[in-house]
Amino acid sequence: MLFTFLLILLIADSILLIGVVLLQAGKGGGVAAAFGGASSSTDALFGSRQAGNLLTKASWWGGGAFLFLAFLLSLTSTAARRPASILEGQFAPQGVPTAPPTSGAPGSPAQLPPAIPLEPATTPPQTPPPQP
């Protein structure tokens, strides 16, 4: 339940974040200006510093929320799986086998011929060894 709720929040945040980033204006020449001899190396690489408007703040908050939700999802997804020993299932007592249901279906025990009862094994009578 919690995992599904967090996943829905993450998807909604990612859609919002995509829209906010696409609505922002570009910072200028981009990569072409970086290799074209722009004025300063930091301005060419990161763009010029501009005042933070609503879209910039929304993208920062949306990115932070995305990382936080992804972290919470990773925690909740691993909490459900506990490590278990493979030896726990090996030595468990076996259940009593149950007889299959008898029905008229072909191959069911009702359709098979009756089994021949086996006689219990008898041991020959023990005779004492002869006395000299």
- The secondary structure of 86-126 as a DSSP string is THHHHSSPPPPPPPPPP-SSTTSTTTSPPPPPPPPP-PPPP
- Give 18 or 101, the one with higher predicted confidence: 18
Domain range annotation of the chain: 2-79
| 63-69 mean pLDDT | 96
Instruction: Tell me 6's DSSP state.
Output: H
Ramachandran angles phi, psi of 20, nearest 5°: -65, -40
* Res. 26 pLDDT band, cuts 50 70 90: confident
Q: How far is CA 102 from the centre of its chain?
A: 40
Q: Is 9 exposed, middle or buried (0-12, 13-18, 19+ CB in 10 A)?
A: middle
* Res. 69 pLDDT band, cuts 50 70 90: very high
Integer CA distances (angstroms), 48 to 16, 51, 56, in order: 25, 10, 14
